[in-house]
């Protein structure tokens, strides 16, 4: 199936109204299409929001009036205009609701990922597994990841700025394999976790402190970066700024 074909049947797919063969084709397309998966998630979020809205049954008197009314309704231009206004208001409200739900989901995913990044940093420092490859040569560290990940992490040499590369390792974040690059500033270790930005949902940029660790998150050339250290704000900003170039 193509994206336009999937778009035409998304509502039926979300309501489980497609034939089994058609539903299987949609699922096969969604596995390889992030854009269509996003549309499915948005429709599901809007559906959940609508289902949470309170339901007020019509009173018996109104039911009786509707049941006994036989006079046809005349659709004057004024009534059609009001109907268009109502439909537009409902549509805009739905779009706003979807954006609100999406923003909350992104914020929640970013919070969870930030906690995971700090846990990975602490685990590496305290578990004697800071390196799988220990070297200050970017041409040694970068090739080491070949065949171990399905992406090639950028490895920069920041020694001239006072942040020497000291090695790297494989790690896991959010259930996904990631590259962890290890830099140093005097006695401070900086872990930089790198993976394709499309693999793990998060905000495109973030800065925060958790449990005394400073963190910076950004994306560059389709890759997501999380830097974490006990460095002060100014020095970690300098380090992150150098990697963003």
What are the pLDDT digits (tens) for 143-181? 999 999 999 999 999 999 999 999 999 999 888 899 999
pLDDT by residue (tens digit) across 205-215? 999 999 999 99
The predicted model gives 14-18 an average pLDDT of 82
Return the C-alpha torsion angle 29, 33, 39, 43, nearest 10.
Answer: 50
d(CA 139, CA 82): 67
Domains parsed from the chain with CATH numbers: 1-68 (1.10.10), 110-244 (3.30.200.100)
The predicted model gives 104-120 an average pLDDT of 88
What's the token pair of residue 122?
A: 């602490």
What's the token pair of residue 12?
A: 């039926």
Q: How high is the pLDDT of residue 70?
A: 57
Q: How high is the pLDDT of residue 59?
A: 74
pLDDT > 90: percent of the chain: 48
d(CA 155, CA 163): 13
Alpha carbon 55 to its chain's center: 32
- Report pTM: 0.60
3-state secondary structure 40-70: HHHHHHHHHHHHCCCCCCCCHHHHHHHHHCC
Of residues 15 and 183, more confidence is placed in: 183
Mean pLDDT of the chain: 84
Q: How high is the pLDDT of residue 1?
A: 78
List all residues 6 or more positions away from 56 whose beta carbon is below 8 Å from its beta carbon.
none
Residues in the chain, total: 245
Q: How high is the pLDDT of residue 98?
A: 55
pLDDT > 70: percent of the chain: 80
* Sign of the torsion angle spanned by Cα atoms 171, 172, 177, 182: negative
């Amino acid at each position: 199936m193509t994206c336009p074909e999937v778009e035409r049947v998304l509502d039926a797919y979300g309501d489980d109204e497609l034939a089994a063969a058609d539903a299987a084709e949609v699922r096969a397309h969604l596995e390889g299409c992030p854009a269509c998966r996003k549309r499915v998630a948005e429709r599901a979020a809007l559906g959940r929001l609508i289902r949470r809205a309170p339901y007020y049954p019509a009173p018996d008197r109104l039911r009786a009036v509707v049941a006994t009314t036989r006079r046809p309704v005349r659709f004057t231009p004024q009534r059609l205009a009001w109907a268009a206004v109502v439909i537009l208001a409902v549509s805009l409200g739905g779009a706003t609701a979807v954006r609100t739900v999406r923003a909350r989901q992104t914020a929640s995913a970013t919070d969870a990922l930030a906690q995971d990044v700090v846990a990975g940093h602490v685990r590496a420092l305290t578990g004697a597994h800071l390196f799988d490859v220990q070297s200050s040569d970017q041409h040694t560290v970068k090739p080491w990841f070949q065949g171990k990940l399905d992406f090639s992490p950028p490895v920069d040499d920041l020694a001239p700025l006072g942040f020497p590369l000291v090695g790297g390792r494989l790690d896991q974040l959010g259930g996904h394999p990631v590259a962890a690059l290890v830099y140093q500033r005097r006695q401070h270790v900086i872990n930089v976790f790198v993976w394709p930005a499309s693999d793990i949902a998060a905000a495109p940029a973030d800065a925060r402190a958790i449990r005394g660790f400073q963190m910076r998150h950004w994306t560059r050339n389709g890759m997501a970066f999380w830097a974490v250290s006990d460095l002060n704000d100014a020095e970690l900003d300098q380090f992150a700024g150098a990697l963003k170039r």
